[in-house]
Chain A
């Protein structure tokens, strides 16, 4: 505990946080890690394991408790997602995206919507997908074209979303659609239940990694939902989507950290037992320096993630750019460290059975989604020079 203020110390976990991290670590090591390779190889989406995660409260980490959420903070969340990712970064990331959807409904949904969806989402009995990206609107998300037109008491949605995690398997989709004019202020966030007529899905994309979770296009053809499915007000959708991403970025960074930490620890063990030229790899300064670099990168990323999480928890004025900084640093560091761990394993690093190459493949996309790292640079740069 910090003696100076009553803010939580950035450098020490509270006893509660240690217990949380320990409990999630046990879950991840028992339920995720032993099967991660198999899920990746067979592209198997482990719905039963997600339900068990939900029963532990991982489906609504920062959803309010009155609807079954765990009511935890962003600082708690980064610990939780790092531990999950040490088990399997793909499932950790999936759970994070799902939590983003749950949080959006908790924060911006009517009481009716909260009570209808959140008990199920919090326990992961139901799964949620976040539908923002389109073929022509990725980084330029505000250029999205999916439309939602008022017809009586309903919205009718038409459009195509791309790269949607969990699509085809989720029970509820939060769709960012255009209800007004061009640009961000014309966008609204609308809940679309899975069984609504007009909703269909593309094939499961073949990806470099993240194979244990499905990624599909979502097609909306005259999808009709009640107007009461609106989150917040018309025109709030873009802000709702972006606000959701702040926390999502922290979690994705934490997932990079967890995956990389696991790979790094494997590399540390490997170089201490692998012998070449009459000595252990670890006895070479070149290897020691490489490990030092890796460790420094991980510690720096972890420190910034925790700082950004705290800023988000207290709603600090610079929380948005801190989250962007932490996401960029942690996802870049995560990939680099995992890739370095692969190299330290030599030929074994290239073999699927050792698990390292899967982590490298998984972590690569963290530098792209939830806002590319270039967009993170844009956010931070703009905050420095003061562009609106």
Chain B
């Protein structure tokens, strides 16, 4: 079985984000970029499945500008067998477009599993996995905190972290899984694998070649910082507290 993992290049989680002066988005020039943490978890899960003998190949894919190859090289260094870069140039890519691209890649590659992070830490959309499952008419196990494959029966048992607790579902393969934080602890790429990554293949394709038009369905009107936290006030009595809760915070 082949596993496809979709990974996204995002601003590194440790960076202090700044909004651009023109309010069109977040500053990304000269800012450290990394693989989305949930995508790392997705890749780690795919690698573990391959190492357990239940899959033969892990293919990492990414949609974005030329610098995506950095992220794909990291994926190769972690252990992916090969990679595909869908070059979207300078276009701003949104989940539905990515989902359509992934559908095209899946139809070409025919993996038994498509694993993604549950969401990207830049836009927090939490949509791509679900959309591509819908487009492919594949079952989906999102927010996975545990995945157990039964290769013989071609099923995946997925434990999902939902608001009410943990839900266990059984998916027939091929399926889409999106990963949550507690699924696994991603490995560090080993030094030899970092050096070997350059000899692994990164195939480049364009959205046009996949018959996907990158058309934004959402227009971003403005990006602003959240209001700065105001200084606290020391109150002198319980009556004053109740008054403020009622009339200022309006929570009573």
Determine which residue in A19, A26, A52, A76 has the highest number of CB atoms from chain B within 10 A of its CB, and name it.
A19
CA distance A19 to B189 in the complex (A): 10
Residues from chain B with Cβ under 8 Å of A72 in the complex? 191-192, 195
A23 touches B198 (CB 8 A): no
B194 touches A23 (CB 8 A): yes
Contact with A along B195-206 (1 / 0, CB 8 A): 101100000000
Give the interface size bracket for B toward A: 10 to 19
Which of A57-65, A106-114, A319-327 is found at the contact surface with chain B?
A: A57-65
A65 touches B190 (CB 8 A): no
A55 touches B194 (CB 8 A): no
B191 touches A15 (CB 8 A): no
Residues from chain B with Cβ under 8 Å of A138 in the complex? none
Instruction: Tell whether A56 is near chain B: CB-to-CB under 8 Å.
Output: yes
Instruction: Tell whether A20 is near chain B: CB-to-CB under 8 Å.
Output: yes
B192 touches A19 (CB 8 A): no
Residues from chain B with Cβ under 8 Å of A26 in the complex? 188
Instruction: Tell whether B73 is near chain A: CB-to-CB under 8 Å.
Output: yes
A19 touches B73 (CB 8 A): yes
A70 touches B198 (CB 8 A): no
Determine which residue in B77, B188, B189, B197 has the highest number of CB atoms from chain A within 10 A of its CB, and name it.
B188
- Which chain A residue lies CB-closest to B187? A55
A70 touches B190 (CB 8 A): yes
Instruction: Tell whether A16 is near chain B: CB-to-CB under 8 Å.
Output: yes
Residues from chain A with Cβ under 8 Å of B197 in the complex? 19
Question: Which secondary structure characterizes the binding site on chain A?
Answer: helix
A20 touches B198 (CB 8 A): no
B191 touches A57 (CB 8 A): yes
A23 touches B191 (CB 8 A): yes
Instruction: Tell whether A226 is near chain B: CB-to-CB under 8 Å.
Output: no
Residues from chain A with Cβ under 8 Å of B191 in the complex? 20, 23-24, 56-58, 61, 70, 72, 76, 80
Shortest distance in angstroms between A271's beta carbon and chain B's nearest beta carbon? 20
B189 touches A56 (CB 8 A): yes
- Which chain B residue lies CB-closest to A18? B70
Give the interface size bracket for A toward B: 20 to 34
CA distance A58 to B192 in the complex (A): 10
Determine which residue in B77, B189, B191, B193 has the highest number of CB atoms from chain A within 10 A of its CB, and name it.
B191
B188 touches A52 (CB 8 A): yes
Report which of B190, B195, B198 forms a contact with A56, defined as CB distance below 8 A.
Answer: B190
Known: A19-B73, A23-B77. A57 touches B187 (CB 8 A): no
Instruction: Tell whether A45 is near chain B: CB-to-CB under 8 Å.
Output: no
Residues from chain A with Cβ under 8 Å of B189 in the complex? 23, 56
Report which of B188, B192, B193 forms a contact with A27, defined as CB distance below 8 A.
Answer: B188
B188 touches A23 (CB 8 A): yes
Shortest distance in angstroms between A192's beta carbon and chain B's nearest beta carbon? 29
Shortest distance in angstroms between B8's beta carbon and chain A's nearest beta carbon? 18
Known: A19-B73, A19-B77, A23-B77. A57 touches B192 (CB 8 A): yes
Residues from chain B with Cβ under 8 Å of A27 in the complex? 188
Residues from chain A with Cβ under 8 Å of B195 in the complex? 16, 20, 71-72
Residues from chain B with Cβ under 8 Å of A76 in the complex? 191
- Which chain A residue lies CB-closest to B193? A57
B198 touches A15 (CB 8 A): yes
Q: Which residues of chain B in 196-228 are interfacial with respect to chain A, using CB atoms and an 8 Å cutoff?
A: 197-198
Shortest distance in angstroms between A32's beta carbon and chain B's nearest beta carbon? 13
CA distance A58 to B195 in the complex (A): 14
Known: A15-B198, A23-B194. A55 touches B188 (CB 8 A): yes
A19 touches B194 (CB 8 A): yes
12 contacts between A and B (CB under 8 A): A16-B198, A19-B74, A19-B77, A23-B77, A23-B189, A26-B188, A27-B188, A55-B190, A57-B191, A57-B193, A70-B192, A72-B195
Chain A residues near B (Cβ < 8 Å):
15-16, 19-20, 23-24, 26-27, 52, 55-58, 61, 65, 70-72, 76, 80
- A19-B194, A23-B189, A72-B191 known, 14 other contacts, Cβ within 8 Å: A16-B195, A19-B73, A19-B77, A19-B197, A23-B77, A23-B191, A24-B191, A26-B188, A55-B187, A55-B188, A56-B191, A57-B191, A57-B193, A58-B191
